[in-house]
Amino acid sequence: MWSKTVNVTLRTRIRVGYELGYYNVSIESDIAYLGFDEAYSFNGTNKLKNVKNTIFFNGLKGLEFLLAEKNGATPDDPRIPGKQQYEISFTKKNTPNITVREGDGFTLKVYFNGEECLLPDSVSFATLEYPAGTLNPPHIHPRAAELLIVIDGVLEVGFIDTTGKLYSQKFEFLDMFVFPKGLVHYKYNPSFDTPSMAVSAFGSANTGTVSVPSTVFSTGIDDNILAKGFKTDVPTIEKIKKGLGA
């Protein structure tokens, strides 16, 4: 069973620690909120009516306090924020399509007593394995650029810029390629018998991934509209959808 534990840390710049009493925290995410399982040191729920993508928490009695900031290791060091940390667990049983390495499930917004909190900048990494002849279909990452490094085998990669120009290249061991944020790109292993592997680094922990084929053909757009848009006929659209399992 897939599971994930998330730490929630409240950092403060107050000079003296104090009890807040019945403070509340809410976390807005994407599909991960459906997999919310349990909160430790919180009362938590994602079952509120007419509220989507958000998990709400209240501090338990005896734990609803904030710690004061403290001095650094030396007088010249900056003061260290006070912090109070809690854990939230998720399971995949209610989010079968979540893909953490693609950025699904990362926090979008955090509110403390109704005030939106500042989220830290972050990065993420993914190890990508490509069996012989496999393709990572055209897709975009709307919130981050991607740096790809090939560490085994060969990959053909490419992206399309805003003028419709294709930039493509075949890469081998330790070759690198940058996919700009928000542009359509793909990766393909052209070998018939040799797998390949790459590492991708992203400028955000919440990159987001929009697959072009599944977004266009698997989201309920009318077949006649797709046929007109692609200048083909409905039977061809139906064949493409069948191939994608839509």
Annotated binding site for Mn(2+): which residue ranges? 139, 141, 146, 185
Q: Cite the annotated binding site for oxalate by residue number.
A: 136, 141, 146
> Same domain, yes or no, for 151 and 211?
yes
Q: Are 104 and 143 members of one domain?
A: no
- CATH number for the domain that contains residue 130: 2.60.120.10
Binding annotation: 136, 139, 141, 146, 185
* Residue pLDDT, tens place only, 118-177: 666 567 788 889 999 999 999 999 888 999 999 999 999 999 999 999 999 999 999 998
Domain C-terminal end among 116, 136, 171:
116
How many domains does one find in the chain?
Answer: 2
3-state secondary structure string across the chain: CCEEEEEEEEEECCCCCEECCCCEEEEECCHHHHHEEEEECEEEECCCCCCCCEEEEEECCCCCEECCCECCCCCCCCCECEEEEEEEEEECCCCCCCCHHHCCCCCCEEEECCEECCCCCCCEEEEEEECCCCEEEEEECCCCCEEEEEEECCEEEEEECCCCCEEEEEECCCCEEEECCCCCEEEECCCCCCCEEEEEEECCCCCCCEEHHHHHHCCCCCHHHHHHHCCCCHHHHHHHHHHHCC
Same domain for 108 and 68: yes
Domain that holds residue 168: 124-244
62/71: higher pLDDT: 71
Q: Let me know whether 41 and 83 are in one domain.
A: yes
Predicted TM-score (pTM) of the model is: 0.54
Check whether residue 129 and residue 168 sit in a common domain.
yes
